[in-house]
Amino acid sequence: MRWPVRLTASLVITLGLLTWGASYVARSVMQSWFERDLTLRAELAINGARLALTNAWTGAPVEALRDVLVEIAQDERVLGVAACRAADFTLIAATPGFPSTFACDRFGLLVKPDGAGGSWHTWTGTDNSVLGGTVHITAAPIRSSTDVLGYLILIHDLGFVSRRQAQAERLLLVAFAVLALTASTVTLIANRVAWWRWTRDLRLLLGGGHESPEFRPLMRDVRALADRIAADRDMDRDVEAWTPKRLRDAATRHFNADQVIIVANREPYIHQRTESGGIEVKHPASGLVTALEPVMRACSGVWISHGSGNADRETADEQGHVAVPPDHPSYTLRRLWLSDDEERGYYYGFANEGLWALCHTGHTRPMFRTDDWKHYEAVNRRFADAVADEASTESPVVLVQDYHFALLPRLIRERLPRATIIMFWHIPWPTAERFGICPQREHLLAGMLGADILGFHTQAHCNNFTETVERYLEARTDKERGGLSHKGRMTFVRPYPISIEWPPTKVPAAPSPDATRAEVFAELGLSANALLGVGVDRLDYTKGIEERLLAVDRLLTKYPEFRGRFVFLQIAAPSRSEIERYQQLSDAVDALVARINDRWGTPGYQPIIYRRRHHEPEQVYRLYRAADLCYVSSIHDGMNLVAKEFVSSRDDDDGVLVLSQFTGAALELTEAVIVNPYDIDQAGDALAAALEMPPAERRTRMHYMRAHLAEFNVYRWAGRMLIDAARLRKRESLWQRLAPATGGARNGGA
Ligand code: F6P
């Protein structure tokens, strides 16, 4: 039953009960009123005729007394009057209509002598047994000056009382019925009006009208509920695997033909001149590229980057455009050319000597120079202009990547107010206190808050960011929904742990792990019973390469059985080599490798094979597939995709991942052997445990990690952000339509 009907029904029932109660009360009140009235009338009639009665009583013929009685009985409601003797309660005289069933002695029991003085008092009552109907009887004594002569009985008809009562009840019923009808009609009409207003408001709201003020709190709840339902529905859908197709479908469904633009400092394809004068395409050692390139292949669009290859200009058109991937083009790479000064100030200086050092607990002091900052600002502006140039619609979806572009979201917003801007921060976010070191902290934070969504790898980084904004900007925090409102616009801060493509496209084409192992072992000059560990990194001080090598040293010290047998292959892609700290690191690693090899090496055996050069992804995959273990020892890392790539390469469910607890990946790949890389003893033991791990345990651990990656792949990472952004965009367009009514707060109620 609908609630208005229920309300009306309850109203009618309540009024019915009230009517019944009221009529009961009215009946009792009327009864007593009429009885009192009749008693009064009887007394008046008797008192008026008292003299005549006394005279007639004493000695006059019975007829005279009857005449007096007839006189008294003139009132139409009097049924009869009788005079009874006091001494023996016998009838003296009665009016003609007096009921024959009447007997004076009957009242003798009622009209008692009043105490010792022998006086009488009046009896009044209602009786329905005397005349077959309800009558009112008054019995009053008639006195001489000394004695009670007798008593007079007056019988009044009470039928009119019942008639009046019935009439009053009917009136009451009619009145209550009218009241009930009116009340329910008013309720129904009010309900219809309210319903009409609600539906009108809802229609207006959905159709772009204005919602009335009283409707707003409700709509906020409705929106929150809708969001929850949508999120639940998306979660339900997440039982389906995220694939490139599903990501493409999601992008098409949520953004129609809207263009996807990625901005990342590092380009996915670098054209380099070879020594022989030809041009080759290189794939940079970058987790960011590893993750985003498959996304871009799935979604198409434009990727805007710094063109850093020495053959980049000649392979691009005048606008810096190149169709990529080179073998099967599916999206456009737009290269931006930076001067040496710009690159030095923006990339090496502010981004890497400043922000990189600031955001990582890498024990390297961050360096902030005013000149670098100017270049950083200028380059961010140039990239914002490039986004505006490349945008083929007013409302593209722009995915801004990493710490190189903290100012970009706000700059893009100024140029393309209707863009959907998602910024992903690929490195950790430090505590508020630490971030306070940066002299330009407020500018960076305000720039980032130009985005609709700000993504970090972990909730801890989101919390740090929120606390930083709370400390340095005047912003309002909506902790429940992870929102930060600054200067009238809302940015959502959420964790999106980045991942890799799954299924891995490189694996199916690769030879089996056994065949690969045989090949790689032959290339490295290892005997068949050798044990191989690998480490793959950019040459960066956050990766814990020195700690890793020290752990190998400890393994060989503590577990002599591995000497001459265990070999650790360290791949280090040169990185940011203009920066002094990176040069120091490179020297330190060289020295450490030499020391350990000196210590444990024998003719024909080097425990550490160190390759400081770029390796293409396919080469790295071969090494992963050939290895017994992979050690990722970062001392601080946002995620670390090497760990995930190692797992994805092992379709034989073999190999052991030894993983630093200070990586974002350790929160997901819990079946790895988790270590504290600073604890060299523990790390040495972990390497030994990994090498001695029974095959069944290796398989179980690897199996679970692979299952996790199959579900939480990079398509899901991108899909989740796009879906969240689409939801916000819908909300945004709603708020724009409501702008006059709401004061135009963008994103305000999201
Ligand atoms: O880890 C941060 C990051 O920007 C990654 O996103 C990327 O994998 C790596 O650094 C590459 O650094 P660069 O572009 O300086 O070589």
Q: Tell me, what's the pLDDT at 227?
A: 58
Q: How confident is the model at residue 559 (pLDDT cuts 50, 70, 90)?
A: very high
What distance in angstroms lies between residue 495's CA and the mean position of ligand 1's atoms?
A: 19
Pocket test residue of 262, 269, 288 for ligand 1, highest count of atoms within 8 A of CB: 288
Q: How confident is the model at residue 440 (pLDDT cuts 50, 70, 90)?
A: very high
453: nearest Cα among 496, 415, 393: 496
Tokens representing residue 152 in the block = 């007079």
Q: Higher confidence at residue 339 or residue 94?
A: 339
Q: Are residues 129 and 264 in the same domain?
A: no
Assigned domain for 695 exists? yes
Q: Higher confidence at residue 194 or residue 395?
A: 395
Q: Are residues 585 and 651 in the same domain?
A: yes
The domain total for the chain is 4
Q: How confident is the model at residue 218 (pLDDT cuts 50, 70, 90)?
A: low
The DSSP string of 576-597 is STTSHHHHHHHHHHHHHHHHHH
What distance in angstroms lies between residue 290's CA and the mean position of ligand 1's atoms?
A: 10
- Residue 622 region, left (φ>0) first, then alpha (ψ -120 to 50), else beta? alpha
Residue 458 has pLDDT above 50, yes or no: yes
444: nearest Cα among 551, 558, 368: 368
Q: Residues lining ligand 1, CB < 6 A? A: 265-266, 286-288, 402, 426-427, 575-576
Assigned domain for 632 exists? yes
Residue 683 has pLDDT above 80, yes or no: yes
Contact 85, 77 (CB under 8 A): no
Q: Are residues 593 and 699 in the same domain?
A: yes
The amino acid at 653 = D
In degrees, rounded to 5, the angle at the alpha carbon of residue 455 between the alpha carbons of residues 454 and 461 is: 105
Tokens representing residue 133 in the block = 């109907």
What predicted TM-score, i.e. pTM, was given to this entire model?
Answer: 0.70
Q: What are phi and psi of 498, to 5 degrees?
A: -70, 160
What distance in angstroms lies between residue 426's CA and the mean position of ligand 1's atoms?
A: 8
Q: Higher confidence at residue 447 or residue 287?
A: 447
Which atom, in ligand 1's list, is nearest to the CA of 575?
Answer: 16
Q: Tell me, what's the pLDDT at 339?
A: 98
Residue 433 has pLDDT above 60, yes or no: yes
CATH number of the domain that residue 111 is part of: 3.30.450.20
Contacts of 580 (CB under 8 A, 6+ apart): none
Assigned domain for 726 exists? no
Residue 295 has pLDDT above 50, yes or no: yes
* Mean per-residue pLDDT, 137-161: 77
Which atom, in ligand 1's list, is nearest to the CA of 403?
Answer: 4
Assigned domain for 319 exists? yes
Tokens representing residue 117 in the block = 């003085």
Q: Are residues 131 and 190 in the same domain?
A: no
Q: Are residues 700 and 572 in the same domain?
A: yes
Assigned domain for 733 exists? no
Q: Where is mean pLDDT largest: 32-41, 119-128, 737-746?
A: 32-41
Domain boundary among 442, 464, 495: 495
What distance in angstroms lies between residue 578's CA and the mean position of ligand 1's atoms?
A: 15
What order of strands is seen across the sheet that includes strand 483-486?
A: 321-324, 331-336, 302-306, 260-263, 397-401, 420-424, 453-456, 489-495, 483-486, 476-478
Q: Domain range spanning residue 599?
A: 513-712
Tokens representing residue 456 in the block = 């970090």
Coil, helix or strand at residue 495? strand
Assigned domain for 352 exists? no
Residue 372 has pLDDT above 90, yes or no: yes
Beta strand segments in 179-320, E: 260-263, 270-273, 279-282, 302-306
> Which residue's alpha carbon is nearest to atom 7 within ligand 1?
286
Query: What's the N-to-C CA distance of the chain in angstroms?
Result: 34
Q: Are residues 173 and 153 in the same domain?
A: no
Assigned domain for 747 exists? no
Q: How confident is the model at residue 120 (pLDDT cuts 50, 70, 90)?
A: very low
Cis peptide before 99 (omega within 30 of 0): no
- Residue 485 region, left (φ>0) first, then alpha (ψ -120 to 50), else beta? beta
CB atoms within 10 A of CB 73: 22
Q: What is the mean pLDDT of the chain?
A: 86
Q: Tell me, what's the pLDDT at 98?
A: 77
What distance in angstroms lies between residue 576's CA and the mean position of ligand 1's atoms?
A: 10
Q: Are residues 141 and 10 in the same domain?
A: no
Q: Tell me, what's the pLDDT at 43?
A: 75
Q: Are residues 129 and 192 in the same domain?
A: no
Q: Higher confidence at residue 316 or residue 225?
A: 316
Q: Residue 210 burial (CB < 10 Å; 0-12/13-18/19+)?
A: middle
What distance in angstroms lies between residue 428's CA and the mean position of ligand 1's atoms?
A: 12
Q: Are residues 54 and 16 in the same domain?
A: no
Q: Tell me, what's the pLDDT at 119?
A: 42
Q: Are residues 306 and 409 in the same domain?
A: yes
Q: How confident is the model at residue 736 (pLDDT cuts 50, 70, 90)?
A: low
Contact 521, 567 (CB under 8 A): no
Which atom, in ligand 1's list, is nearest to the CA of 356?
Answer: 2
Q: Higher confidence at residue 187 or residue 423?
A: 423
Please tell me the distance from the alpha carbon of residue 138 to that of residue 65, in angstroms, as a whole number.
18
Whether the CA torsion 302, 254, 460, 368 is positive or negative: it is positive
719: nearest Cα among 225, 264, 234: 234
Pocket test residue of 262, 266, 461 for ligand 1, highest count of atoms within 8 A of CB: 266
Please tell me the distance from the alpha carbon of residue 315 to that of residue 311, in angstroms, as a whole number.
6
